[in-house]
Structures are given as structure tokens and as C-alpha cells.
Amino acid sequence: MTTAFVLLAGLMLLAALAFVLLPLLRHGRGANLPASAVRRRALDDALASGVVTAEEHLAKLAALEQQDLASTTAPPPRSRSAFHAALLTLLLLPAAAIGLYAHLGNVRALDTALMDAGRAMNGSPGPDMDQAVQGLADKLAKNPDDVDGWVLLGRAYKSMERFADARDALKNAYDRAPNEIEIQVDYAEALALAGETRRIDGRPRELLEGALKTDPNHQRALWLLGIADYQAQNYASAVTRWELLRGMLPAEAPVRESLDRQIADARQRGGLGAAAPARTAGADSAAANGMAAAAAAAPAAGAADVRLSVTVSLDPKLRDRAPAGASVFVFARAASGPPMPLAVQRLTLADLPAKVELTDAMGMLPTMKLSQFPEVVVGARISASGNAKAQSGDLQTLSAPLDVNSKATIDLLIDQVVP
């Protein structure tokens, strides 16, 4: 791939992936373990500072663990520059789909913290991601048989929450390489993200099951099918898949403790009985940094779910700026804590004014729910593009921090324009 590949990959990484680029350039077996430690510490720092979310942190740790395992057993890769290898590896990191719970795929939905952090680190406005992506799309229109290009474009679209475009790009890749398992799994994820319900069922599930038949130990397919079972309330099957995945991880794998939490949650919801996970010296640092507040504030089993009653309306002065058919996202996130939404509801402009209820059942992760935080910020955003991620020109409003147990109705008037 050419300069367009390098440019787009660099833009996708932004601030969070900049933390791990340089260590990846030091490849070779002798340097692998120190580089791994550096990358993990960098990811921990990024999580603690809010540059990456808890689920992104978990995904990247899982990918790094797989990379470490491969590097200790695999022969040296075929000739390519260290820079090119680093970019290819980094592009695989966002592929672990931790943010597929409930409202599937909204890893950085309704939050611009990552882009803001990238601008702050660089001391200047970020590069034009849209322009770079369009450049790659134009190139692929002239060279449609470039499978790697379609994969890269699809992953770029996913990082921008342009899920329908991601689906179409990855379908082009899948149509040309249907036997490539990674492409098959990527395409399945994109299909689910682009669906109305954003659930892993139907065709996405068929693709994932096909990938698992080809490679029964494919870790991402196992994880995603576990999520599919969890969404379908088939908790026993989710536990079975995730425990199989857990058994593939080394005892010191940082991701294990977070995976144990998902297993424990599925066990509790399915009435399967508790299974105390073994603690390890390399326990997931995401628990200590990104999820410590959630764990400390977690309600006792059987506690009533939090329910926030919200009314949403649009300021008449902005009505002309809201295109017909625009999507409306109503969400709640922790006042202090990880930036991803704890609950989110999608409406259309035609639904306004509307009254919605945000509950624990709308959480993106079992370990990140409304009831696990004492204060939340509730907001609403009108998106002309249909993307959950805030974009210039979107209309929005945010509340002041609120007691999560408040029974009063929260009235939101959308009266601001995203700069």
C-alpha cells in the first residue's frame, strides 16, 4: 500500500494510538517483552487520563497479548519495513469489538474526548480525517480489487461511527476474499453495527459461526459470539464461550480480570451460580484505573436498576437547522469517570418532543451501568449524519451533574450547536 495507507492509518490512530506506535517499531524477539511492557504502561496512562475508554483499553490489551503470544512462537515475518509492520499491527487493535454490548459498537459514541486529546497533544487542529478517507475511497473506486484497501477503509469508517459505509467497504473486501477469517469477522461486526438493532444476530452471527468452524480458537469470534448470546439472554452459552476464551489466555494476561467480570455478570443474570475467578499477578490494570469507580460503586446483587425519566424537545429557534430524518441520541454518562455512555436511546427528529427512560439495561458493558455511578450527565444530540459521534453542526444539550437516583423528570431542551 502507498502513502495514502500510511496517512490514513496515522490519522486513525490519533492520540491514543500514538502512545504505542514507537514501541512497535522496535520489532524482533529480543525486544518484544520490554516493548510489550512499555505499550501496556502507555495504555494504562492513556486510560487514566481519559484518552481511551475502558473498553478500548481492554481491546488493545487483548490484541497486544495475542501479538506477544504470536511473536514468541512464529518465525520472523516476511520482509517489510518496521514502520509498515507497526501500522498494520496498530490497525488491528481497534478491531476487538468490546463496545458491542446493547447499543452495539458505540466505543466512543456521543463523546469527542479522543479527538480533543489528539489536538491538545499536537498543539494544533487535528488533520482532516474525512478528506483522507475520501481520498482512499476515490482510489479504491479506480482500483476496486485492492482487498487491503477495502479493509482499511472499512475500519476507518468504523472508527468514525459511519457504520453503513463500513459495512459496504468490508462487503467489498469480503466478496473478494471470503475465506479470510479476519475479513469475515470484520464484516460480521460491521453488519451488526449498521443494523437497526445493532445486535449480533442473523447474517452477522452466521458469519461469525462460519469463522469459528474454520478456526475454533479464533478469539475475537469467540468473544463476539459470546456477546451475541449475552444479548439474546442465552447466558449459559455466553459463559461457555467466554470461559473457553479465558482458557486460551496466559495466566498473567492483563485482560483476564475484565473477562472474569463479564463471565461473572452473565452467570449472575443467568442464575448459574458464582464462579470465583483466580487472581493473577498480571491482573487487568483497567480494573485499577478505568473501572475502579464502577467496581467500588457496584450495587449488591438484586438491587433495583436505576431509571432516569427524560423529556427531550428542540428549541424552535434551531428547528430550521435540523434536517428531516435526522437521528436523535439521548444518553447518560458518568459525571466523573469513563466518557462512554452508560445508557443510550436512539430516536428520530419526528419523535420530538419525546419522553424516554434510560435504564441499566441500556448499558454498553455489564460492568458499566447507571447504577454504578453516583452522578451522571444526561444529554441529547441531533445528528444529521446518523452517527453517534458528535460532529460540527450537530445540535445538542447537556445537563449539569445529577444524582443518579433522582426520581424527578429531567427536561432537556436542545439549544446548542456543536462547533
CA distances from residue 66 to 89, 93, 326 in whole angstroms, order as listed: 11, 10, 40
For residue 303, what is the DSSP state?
Answer: P
Judged on CB neighbours under 10 Å (0-12, 13-18, 19+), 221 is buried
Task: Give the rounded distance of the alpha carbon of 167 from its chain centre.
Answer: 16
Going by the DSSP 8-state scheme, the letter that residue 363 receives in this structure is -
Residuewise pLDDT in 10s, the chain (419 residues): 444 444 444 444 443 344 444 444 444 333 344 455 555 555 555 554 444 555 555 666 556 555 555 444 444 444 334 444 444 444 444 333 333 322 333 333 333 333 333 333 334 334 466 787 888 899 999 999 999 889 989 988 887 888 899 999 999 999 999 999 999 999 999 999 888 778 899 999 999 999 989 888 888 899 889 988 888 889 899 999 998 888 888 877 777 887 888 899 889 888 887 664 444 433 333 333 333 333 333 343 333 568 999 999 999 999 999 988 899 999 998 888 667 788 888 899 999 999 999 988 776 665 578 888 889 999 999 998 877 777 889 999 999 999 999 889 999 999 999 88
The residue type found at 352 is: L
CB-count burial class (<10 Å; 0-12, 13-18, 19+) for 331:
buried
Closest CA to 208 of 226, 234, 230, 184: 184
Contacts 24+ apart (CB under 8 A), 204-209: 204/228, 208/184
**C-alpha to C-alpha distances, 276 to 181, 236, 256, 257, 264, nearest whole angstrom:** 33, 16, 13, 11, 8
Bridge-based pairing of strands 375-383 and 402-403 is antiparallel
DSSP 298: P
- DSSP of 307-346, one letter per residue? EEEEEEEE-GGGGGGS-TT-EEEEEEEESSS-SS-SEEEE
Angle CA(64)–CA(127)–CA(83) in degrees, nearest 5?
40
- Compute the distance between CA of residue 172 and CA of residue 167 in angstroms, rounded to an integer: 9
Rounded to a whole number of angstroms, the CA Rg of the chain reads 21
Neighbouring residues of 385: CB distance < 8 A, sequence distance ≥ 6: 162, 391
Instruction: Check residue 35 and give its pLDDT.
Output: 53
> How many whole angstroms from its chain centre is CA 147?
24
Q: Mind listing the domains of the chain with CATH numbers?
A: 3-270 (1.25.40.10), 307-417 (2.60.40)
What is the rounded CA–CA span in Å between residue 297 and residue 300? 9
Q: Decide: helix, strand or coil at residue 184.
A: helix
| Grid cell of 32 as nine digits | 518484544
Burial 295-311 (b: 16+ CB within 10 A, else e): eeebeeeeeeebbbebb
Among residues 257, 229, 258, the alpha carbon closest in space to that of 241 is found at 229
DSSP letters of 136-149? HHHHHHH-TT-HHH
Residue 381: phi and psi, rounded to 5, are -140, 135
